[in-house]
């Protein structure tokens, strides 16, 4: 991911790490809301 940002000339705003989300195809509404709160 860092290589993508470097190639595109962008800087990442941060990284989000969610526990117990590895084997899930979609994130739960609760996790999505947490991510949205962090980005505001």
* pLDDT tens figures, 1-40: 778 888 888 887 777 777 777 787 888 888 888 888 877 7
Cβ–Cβ < 8 Å for 19, 34:
no
pLDDT at 32: 86
Is residue 12 within 8 A of residue 1, CB to CB? The reply is yes
Give residue 25's pLDDT: 83
Are 27 and 18 contacting, i.e. CB atoms less than 8 angstroms apart?
yes
Q: Name the residue among 23, 2, 21, 24 with its Cα closest to residue 13.
A: 2
The CA distance from 10 to 15, in Å, is 14
Tokens representing 30 are 């609760």
């Amino acid at each position: 991911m860092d290589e993508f940002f470097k190639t595109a000339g962008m800087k990442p705003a941060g990284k989000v790490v969610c526990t117990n989300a590895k084997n899930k195809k979609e994130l739960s509404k609760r996790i999505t809301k947490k991510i949205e709160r962090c980005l505001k």
